[in-house]
Amino acid sequence: MSKVICIIDDDPIYQFLINKIIDNSKGNHEVMFFKNGKEALDYFTLDIAKNLPDIILLDLEMPVMDGWDFLKEIDKLHIDDTAIYIVSSSISDEDKRRAKKFPKIKGHFSKPINSNKIQEITKKIE
Amino acid sequence: MSFKRNWTKLSKWFLTRPNTSGTLVFLLLLLFVFFLVKFRYNVAKENQHREMSNIINVVQQNFEQVLKNSYVTTLTLAMTVNDEGKPENFDRIAAQLVNSNPSIDAVQLVPNGVIQYVYPFEANEAAIGYDILNSPKVKQEALKSIETKLIYFAGPLKLKQGGMGVVGRLPVFMENKFWGFSAVIIRLETLIKVSGIESIDDSKYYFQFSKVNPTTRKEEFFLSNKTDFSDHYFQTVTIPDGDWKLYLIAREKNALIYQVFIFFFFGFLLSLLFALWVVSIMKKPAQLQKKVFQQAQKIHESETEFKTLFEQAPVGIAKVDSDNGDFITVNSEFCRIVGYPEEELTNSNFQKITHPDDLENNINCLHKLKDGSLHEFAMEKRYLHKSGRTVWVNVIVSKLWKSDGNVKCNIAIVEDITDKKRAEEELKQSFQLVSDQNKRLLNFSYIVSHNLRSHTSNIQTISDFLESAETKEERDEMIDLLKRVSDSLNETMSNLNEVVSIRTNINLSIEHLNLNEYIEKAKLILGQQILKKEALVQNLVSKTIVIDYNAAYLESILFNMISNAIRYSHNDRKPEIILSFDEETKSLKIQDNGIGIDLKKNGDKLFGMYKTFNNNPDSKGIGLFLVKNQVDAMGGKIRAESKLNEGTTFTIYFK
């Protein structure tokens, strides 16, 4: 079952690499990229019904609108069908604690991420 | 006044010396008794004297009466002698004379000194024929009466007819020639009886009767009473007709002295008792006086102690009127704390020296104290020292109850805590400093870990792909990616290195730098960008402004601030940047008309590392982070004001 996976991250190398990993995971998933939270949000709100992805892999440190601010904004949209995962280079406990305050967050991964993890995530929401 | 004072002094003197006063009272009373006794003695003596005189006079009169009678009798008897020298009717007349005169026991006629006629004859027969003039015992006295031609009483002597008696002889002359004697014989018992000697009260007095013996010239006593009475009181009269002496003698030797002595003794005893009574009475007030004095001494001592305690207390103490806050009493420590002398404080109130920011709270507490909702309160407050500086104190205020239950005053105990407060403030500042540093350190470590990890995770992924790469194309693609990661990592490392160098630079060289010149230098370096954006950079800083700063930091700060202002310019207008200096606050203002920053949203991230707020590809989020670190390192601060789409103003305080 192919999914729509949304990557929100400002690192172009990561974007390239994650795209390759999802390709290799043979799920035939559709991938979209945003450089920061604001760009993603702007796109979602253009047409909430159509544009929302199944899975969001969210980075925390980004310019313009970071992961936390994005979470605050997406909360206001009341969407239930999208699973949000944090994928950050941060390994700090503080960030993990903070993430727990958002019930929408399904999981928290530290980079690097590999195809196994992508399969794990996509299987969970089937 | 002075009399009264002297009197009080005197009475106090006596009241405090009961023994002395008692002795004085005793002596005074004794003196009084002495005079009284002396007076009484005189009166008694006078009385005795008068009484004895009366008695002795009566006896004397009786004697004289007897002698007169005798004289008359002898004279009458002499009349019986006729011209021839012969007595006529002797017996008859003699009988008449003797019988009519109880005091006379017998009569005689003694012609030529020889007793020839006697009456009563029977009792006196033995005397007949006795030649008086030739008897040596009686001759002298007989001759004396012839010589004086007066009646003379001889004796008392031993009578020829027995017993003792006196003989009164009247010499009779016929034609100037001695004829003989006409004599009366009075027995001693009779004489004593008629004289009344026996009728006196012999408990007090007794008589003695004496005559100097004409032969022996010795005084002879004729009464059976004691003859040695020289140490007794006595009175005496002389009867010349017989050369007799009558004594009236007080029977008791010292009767008067004895009487007076008893009187004196009782007086002495009474004086002594009275004096003792006075002493015992006076000792009570004296004891009370002593107690009062001791109590007063104690009160004085405790007052002195309290005064010393109040004055030398190591805390400030002030008694304050609870109605208007006037100072009533203050101690020296309180004066020292607030710096005012006592006279100035007691003419003032606490409101005047309390810091205006603390006054309201202070007055509220005092109201609560007054209406009873607080019994006492403690607060930290500030006083304004006379010198103008602020003094921090810890003050405890409570009501000062009076014994009648009213409250007129409050008592405030004041402790100077200025040093403590200062230390607290310093501690707070250093805590702030440390927590700021700690925050920066955490932030930095986060930055380090995050920025390095983002690269290492990419490297890890790439190496995974490299391992599993099947074609050369795939491998080359990965190696190319690896190069990009490496460049990026290199840049991150150099940025971090710069930050670390700022933070570890403790001994920075400080120089006098002309601010205007350094701005011009930065403008020169940024010339290309300024030209490209057609920016207007106005340097309004006076050419005379010199600041003490590290040259490299100043260059970096100016470069970053101006280049930021140009970079984030608004698309609708040409960038205008104004740099001005405020000499008062020693601050540089950099004002632009750029896109602005939403400070509400991003204020806390503004000076963070790798924080960017727009999609400008040149944004690295490192410039402001470095500026902030450099300004901090020089002990200054940086502030930002901004409005979205209008512009941003940064202010850098050099110190």
Coil, strand or helix at B291: helix
Overall average pLDDT of the A85-96 stretch = 83
> In this structure, what token pair is assigned to residue B470?
């099947």
Fold that domain B511-653 belongs to in CATH: Heat Shock Protein 90 (3.30.565)
pLDDT tens column, B631-644: 888 888 999 999 98
Interface test with A, best of B447, B456, B458 (most A CBs within 10 A): B458
What's the per-residue H, E or C state across B14-60? HHCCHHHHHHHHHHHHHHHHHHHHHHHHHHHHHHHHHHHHHHHHHHH
Interface test with A, best of B441, B454, B481 (most A CBs within 10 A): B454
**Whole-number Å distance between alpha carbons of A33 and B90:** 213
Cβ distance of A13 and B613 shorter than 8 Å: no
Residue ranges of A 21-50 with Cβ closer than 8 A to chain B: 21, 35-36
Q: Is the torsion defined by CA of B139, B140, B141, B146 positive or negative?
A: positive
> In this structure, what token pair is assigned to residue A90?
């941060």
- Residue B578 is predicted with a pLDDT of 94
Cβ distance of A17 and B601 shorter than 8 Å: no
- Residue B617 is predicted with a pLDDT of 62
Which of B464, B481, B601 shows the shortest C-beta gap to A16?
Answer: B481
Chain B environment of A63 (Cβ under 8 Å): 611-615, 619, 621
**Whole-number Å distance between alpha carbons of A89 and B455:** 9
Q: Is the torsion defined by CA of B83, B86, B88, B90 positive or negative?
A: positive
Chain A environment of B460 (Cβ under 8 Å): 112
CATH 1.10.10.10 fits A4-124, yes or no: no
* B579: number of Cβ within 10 Å: 22
Give B423-504's CATH code, choosing from 1.10.287, 1.10.1740, 2.60.40, 1.10.3470.
1.10.287
> pLDDT exceeding 70 applies to what percent of chain B?
97
Residue ranges of B 438-477 with Cβ closer than 8 A to chain A: 446, 449-450, 453-454, 457-458, 460-462, 464-465
**Whole-number Å distance between alpha carbons of B631 and B147:** 173
pLDDT tens column, B425-451: 999 999 988 887 888 787 778 777 777
Fold that domain B313-416 belongs to in CATH: Beta-Lactamase (3.30.450)
**A64 and B CB contact within 8 Å:** yes
**Ranges of each domain in chain B:** 47-250, 313-416, 423-504, 511-653
Which residue pairs, CB below 8 angstroms and at least 24 apart, start in B154-163?
Answer: B154/B242, B155/B211, B155/B242, B156/B188, B156/B191, B156/B209, B156/B211, B156/B222, B159/B127, B159/B185, B159/B187, B160/B126, B160/B127, B160/B130, B161/B106, B161/B123, B161/B124, B161/B125, B161/B126, B161/B127, B162/B126, B163/B187, B163/B188, B163/B189
In terms of pTM, does the model score above 0.80?
Answer: no
The residue in chain A having the minimum alpha-carbon distance to the alpha carbon of residue B466 is A17
**A63 and B CB contact within 8 Å:** yes
Chain A environment of B609 (Cβ under 8 Å): none
Cβ distance of B614 and A64 shorter than 8 Å: yes
Fold that domain B47-250 belongs to in CATH: Beta-Lactamase (3.30.450)
- Residue A92 is predicted with a pLDDT of 76
- Name B627's Cβ contacts closer than 8 Å, sequence gap at least 6: B556, B557, B560, B561, B607, B638, B652
* Residue numbers of chain B with a pLDDT score lower than 50: none
